[in-house]
Amino acid sequence: MKKLALIFSASLLLWSCADDDIDDTLITKNNLIVKIKFDENQERLDNLGNPSVVAEGNATQTPTVNTFSAHYLELAPSATTLLGDGSIVYKGEETNKGGETAIDFSKAKLVSNNEVFLEIPLRDIQKGTYEWVRISASYQNGTVTILNNQQEYPATIASFIGYNNYIETFDLNGNIIEVNQNKLQGFWGFEAEGYTLTGQAPEGAVTVPNPIFETSPIPQGSCVLTGKFDKTLQITGEETSDITITLSFSINNSFEWTEVNFDGKYEPAVDEQLTDMGLRGLKVVNGQ
């Protein structure tokens, strides 16, 4: 009887462990899935989240975004939640190789339009109700059109829009650009017909829309975009399926330069300077 009792107890223990394993598996399968989208028709906003007009003397075009990366993602309960006081659900890798702390571009996760950027276990997210998203865009690679000797050509622009970026190398259509140092927000690389060029946008020139600036500002040069959920996000800790949200960025005339020839064509050969490559707004769709 003692042996039978021991066997029965051991069986209960194994059964209990098996149940625990099953429950843990179910929990880890429930994720917050974050998709990235670029919308050329979405409203073009300024730094305060208001409708934006093109600065006098400048011209714009809408790029095709090839790849994108972000460094930071935070869920904020309200418009008064200060940056960093919400639920920080993702932060990319940083390094001091270039001196001051910077985003490590070699570790950046690159995604394209309508792709999943992150899958975050829901059990790792603080329970609560969230109305806003804050995301620090760090890199985008896009295609634009340039004019040279009265001929139009496709050109690739790689723009580093994070607060500080340590870049060893980056690839522009098979052309490897060596940097091996930190670059502040607004550093860019350009390639067309095998010709490459790098430059730096003026400090503070990159647009970073934040509709709740008055109650929850962001540091200058951070590129932390702020967008509101179309439907409030609730995390209860009792979810039985994934939650998908889509971060929709406006690329409506987001590529901007100073004109020399006032023809609305981007002509680097006549020293027309790229001034802004920032994303022009963020909408957050809950459940799509």
pLDDT value at 271 more than 70: yes
Query: Which range among 9-18, 130-139, 172-181, 238-247 shows the weakest confidence by mean pLDDT?
Result: 9-18
d(CA 201, CA 257): 10
Q: Which pLDDT band holds residue 288 (cuts at 50, 70, 90)?
A: low
Q: Which pLDDT band holds residue 222 (cuts at 50, 70, 90)?
A: confident
Residue range 185-193: mean pLDDT, rounded: 95
Class of residue 214 by CB neighbours under 10 A (exposed 0-12, middle 13-18, buried 19+): exposed
* Percentage, residues of the chain above pLDDT 70: 90
State the sign of the Cα–Cα–Cα–Cα dihedral 135, 138, 139, 145: positive
**Per-residue pLDDT tens over the stretch 34-87:** 999 999 999 999 999 999 999 999 999 999 999 999 999 999 999 999 999 999
Residue range 229-242: mean pLDDT, rounded: 94
**Beta strands in 11-127, from DSSP E residues, in sequence order:** 31-39, 58-61, 64-76, 87-91, 94-95, 102-104, 115-121
The strand pair at 128-148 and 224-235 is best described as antiparallel
